[in-house]
Amino acid sequence: MEAPDRNLGLDLVRVTEAAALSSSRWLGRGDKNAGDQAAVDAMRLSFNTLPIEGMIIIGEGEKDEAPMLYNGERVGSGSGHAVDVAVDPVEGTNLLAYGRPNAISVVGIAPRGSMFNPGPSYYMQKLVVPAEAKDVADLDAPVGDNLKKIARALGKDVDDLVVFVLDKPRHASLIKDIRAAGARIQLHTDGDVAGSLMAVDPENVVDIMLGTGGTPEGVLSACAIRALGGRLLARLDPQLDDEKEALAEAGIDCHRIFTEETLVKSDDTYFAATGISGGTFLEGVQFTGTHAVTHSLVMRGKTGTMRRIETRIRLDKLMEISAVKYD
């Protein structure tokens, strides 16, 4: 038995809160780069207060002239646990820019060396189900067969199921198969981290996430899925010729099936997400004139803990001390 130790997730949520607060001022203003930049700046400053020696494995690509949270960047105070870090300051930059639901700010951490580095891979085929169906999901099974087995494991009929799918041309055949099987569908333009979390959240109407989305987002999702006990099955699914060539040159096996346990090889994970634009997953940032209100999820893999946090912030007090301008 171990005595309770520090839950870094409760520190981590301050990072996503800061990013959400800052970027939410750009809601619906049509400038996704400005919204993303606001989140990046706030997230970087907040990371510096954390007692970790962090290295970003899942970031915003290679370092360039613009300040960003790039792959390989060091974050944290430099003391404390050595960890791998996955970030998405704004998951769903288009959702934020055009005022659409389910833009969120997301961070996950795990012990150093435990996170899969996607390298030149951008896209990954994914199947996400809650814990009750983790032993029956099969990435290679026909869609109809999968839905029948998953429905049975969840104690439902197929026509009770709700499947999260990104509304992309590459999913035309998938959507047709789901409809033919009789399941219901939620189509989303962006945001497959949110989709993965919806599928394993016992309070959400979504039962399954299916389809091809971002590889970095798959690793981020794995940090949370390890805490909630769901199952993520994934396989690299390059969509572009350059991506295919880069994976071939790197000798990466595109037939290998990953799970949440191979994408993040430790259950000592922490995950935090804060809503930005609001929606069915997490409520967005609200401004009352004197206060800001945020809504977050915090998870810890080692204990299987999930907390929902509503934070009320007096903006006048915050602005007396904050280096980030939230007003």
88 has binding-site annotation: yes
327 has binding-site annotation: no
60 has binding-site annotation: yes
CA distances from 237 to 124, 125, 131, 135, 190 (A): 5, 6, 25, 23, 17
182 has binding-site annotation: no
31 has binding-site annotation: no
62 has binding-site annotation: no
91 has binding-site annotation: yes
36 has binding-site annotation: yes
260 has binding-site annotation: no
190 has binding-site annotation: yes
How far is residue 249's CA from residue 78's CA, in Å, rounded to a whole number? 35
How far is residue 297's CA from residue 169's CA, in Å, rounded to a whole number? 31
| CA terminus-to-terminus distance, the chain | 46
Q: For residue 192, give the DSSP letter.
A: H
213 has binding-site annotation: no
How far is residue 144's CA from residue 114's CA, in Å, rounded to a whole number? 34
User: Which residues are CB-contacts of 243 (< 8 A; sequence separation ≥ 6)?
Assistant: 120, 121, 122, 123
The phi, psi pair for 18, rounded to 5°, reads -60, -45
Which residues participate in the annotated binding site for Mn(2+)?
Answer: 36, 60, 88, 91, 217
Binding site, annotated residues for substrate:
91-93, 123, 168-170, 190-192, 214
> Residues annotated as binding site?
36, 60, 88, 91-93, 123, 168-170, 190-192, 214, 217
